[in-house]
Structure 1
Amino acid sequence: MDQGTQLLVILVVLLVLFLLAVIVFVLFWVFMKRKNALLREQIEAEKRYERAIAETQIEIREETLRNISWELHDNIGQLLTLAKIKAQNIEGGEEMLEVAETIGTGLNELRALSKSINPEAINGQSLIHSLEVEVARFNRLKYLSADYELLGDPIAMDPKVEIVLFRIVQEFMTNTMKHSKAANLKISVQFKVEALEITALDNGVGFDADKLAEKGIGLSNIDKRAELIGAKARISSIPGAGTRLVLTYPLK
């Protein structure tokens, strides 16, 4: 075999090897592209599943609150109304009038509470308005002094998200009233460029965060609610120095 023929054979072999390398590269590229596409589809499917589970959990919790609201309004409300009427008809002077007035006040607050936990009532109003109404209700109860402030320009959000945010703050306020022995509670709602930040702060007895589960306060439920909507909830407390909740929801 002369030198020219050998050179031709070498070129053919190199060309074949090059084509094989190109084919292998193309097949590998197609495989990786398909693999990445399948991974993206899997991640999206998992996200859709998680969103569906979250929405189902929200609907179940709201349905439970709706039923409780109806029970409070229809059953207990009727009993208090009947007790008020009977107290007004009993001859007992100023004492019975005071009893009737107290029952009437309790009936009004029961109706306000029933409305505050009823999803149908909350759906018709914004997060800001719901918080304002809840703060006003707490002030009427006179267990503590509650303040509210709004900072920044409000942005419209998904009503389901607003309900969950309101439930988180409502739960914190309820725990404050039940356990903290606080005299003051402050709620601050701030609309920033990238996120909504809600801060709730009381001046109560506080607690040891490491013993939160042992306390049975129920604040751990706040984290679970926040996860449902992609929010972050940070609870900090020092014994004797009150408790703070910082709730952050990204604004897309």
Structure 2
Amino acid sequence: MLIRIGLAPLERLTRAMTTIDLLKPGPRLAATGHGEIAELITTFNSMIDRLEAERGSSTARALSAQEAERRRVAQELHDEVGQSLTAVLLELKRFADQVPASMRDELLQVQEITRSTLDEIRRIARRLRPGVLEELGLVSALKALAAEFSEHADLVVGRSLDKNLPELDAETELVVYRIAQEGLTNTVRHAHASEVDIVLRALTDGVELRVRDNGRGLGTSVEGAGIRGMRERALLVGAELTVASLPKRGTEIRLVVGHTGGRR
């Protein structure tokens, strides 16, 4: 009995070592026990602190580089491909006015395909670089996001967006937007849902985002790259992300962001 009591802190340390996930921070182990056991637990806690800090720093650099690349690609799609297709449309219109009537219908069909392609490229560019977020703020950006998914996916997107939000800095607004975007994308790809709701509301000391669908839920599947990417973004601004799923009741993604100040 005495040996079991003495080794209990070591058993807790062993369980922590096998279950710890740097994307889901939790409380540190109490440095209980005698002599070297307490010292070992303290060393383990220090190691986890260092690993979480290093992961946070590397994640910040990676996400910053990713956003910069998205902006570059979106700009090139808009400036290069978009302008080229616009020029093609103008030429097609000019030719449509000159060709015989027998060829006009076919030319108009090509013109319509080109116009649809241009609209799709513009839509992709907006997803890569949400200009409305920078220009009009988070609420307007989420409205535009919901409208886009409603239009292009077989999905009813409801929204309840509180306009009286505390001020958030640009990085935090981008995190909230990207998590909402990824949540909607996951719903379209995997949930087999017919409805999804976006809720953004002010808290006493921050904001809360919820993306909730009526799909099949996660079941026994493990978290994929999409959810883990959301967790990384949440940790970047010190936010809390939870993913709840029940059979036949869909999935809910909940993000709680503390008050960070800055631009809104």
**TM-score where L is the length of structure 1:** 0.67
Kindly provide the amino acid, as one letter, of the partner of residue 258 in structure 2.
Answer: P
1:63-212 alignment, distance < 5 Å: 63-74=68-79, 76-77=81-82, 80-81=85-86, 97=108, 100-101=111-112, 103-118=114-129, 122-151=133-162, 153-208=164-219, 210-212=220-222
Residue 113 to residue 101, structure 1, CA distance change in 2 (3 Å): same
CA distance in 2, matches of 1:230, 1:54: 13
C-alpha deviations, 1:192-229, integer Å up to 9, x for none?
Answer: 11231111011223222x4224xx46222111110111
CA distance in 2, matches of 1:197, 1:111: 30
Aligned-pair CA distance for 1:93: 6.2
Structure 2 residue runs without a partner (length 5+): 1-45, 97-101
Asked if structure 1 preserves the Cα contact closer than 8 Å seen for 2:159 and 2:199, the reply is yes
CA distance in 2, matches of 1:159, 1:234: 22
CA distance in 2, matches of 1:247, 1:189: 9
Residue 136 to residue 189, structure 1, CA distance change in 2 (3 Å): same
Bigger mean CA deviation after superposition, 87-96 or 159-168 = 87-96
Q: Which residue number in structure 2 is paired with residue 245 of structure 1? A: 253
Q: Which residue number in structure 1 is paired with residue 66 of structure 2? A: 61
Kindly provide the amino acid, as one letter, of the partner of residue 75 in structure 2.
Answer: W
Residue 107 to residue 143, structure 1, CA distance change in 2 (3 Å): farther
Decide which structure has the larger Cα Rg and report it: 1
SS of corresponding position for 1:198: strand
1:9-88 alignment, distance < 5 Å: 53=58, 55-74=60-79, 76-77=81-82, 80-81=85-86
Kindly provide the amino acid, as one letter, of the partner of residue 252 in structure 2.
Answer: R
Aligned-pair CA distance for 1:73: 2.6
Aligned-pair CA distance for 1:246: 0.6
CA distance in 2, matches of 1:139, 1:99: 27
Aligned-pair CA distance for 1:57: 3.4
Kindly provide the amino acid, as one letter, of the partner of residue 176 in structure 2.
Answer: L
Report the aligned-residue RMSD: 3.3
Residue 224 to residue 52, structure 1, CA distance change in 2 (3 Å): closer
CA distance in 2, matches of 1:137, 1:241: 24
Aligned-pair CA distance for 1:168: 1.1
**TM-score where L is the length of structure 2:** 0.64
CA distance in 1, matches of 2:221, 2:131: 36
Asked if structure 1 preserves the Cα contact closer than 8 Å seen for 2:166 and 2:206, the reply is no
Q: Which residue number in structure 2 is paired with residue 220 of structure 1? A: 228
Asked if structure 1 preserves the Cα contact closer than 8 Å seen for 2:241 and 2:253, the reply is yes
The equivalent position to 1:231 in structure 2, one of 229, 239, 254, is 239
CA distance in 2, matches of 1:102, 1:140: 18
Bigger mean CA deviation after superposition, 104-113 or 187-196 = 104-113
C-alpha deviations, 1:100-133, integer Å up to 9, x for none?
Answer: 4354244224313312321665322311111111
Asked if structure 1 preserves the Cα contact closer than 8 Å seen for 2:191 and 2:250, the reply is yes
Between structures 1 and 2, the one with greater helix share: 1
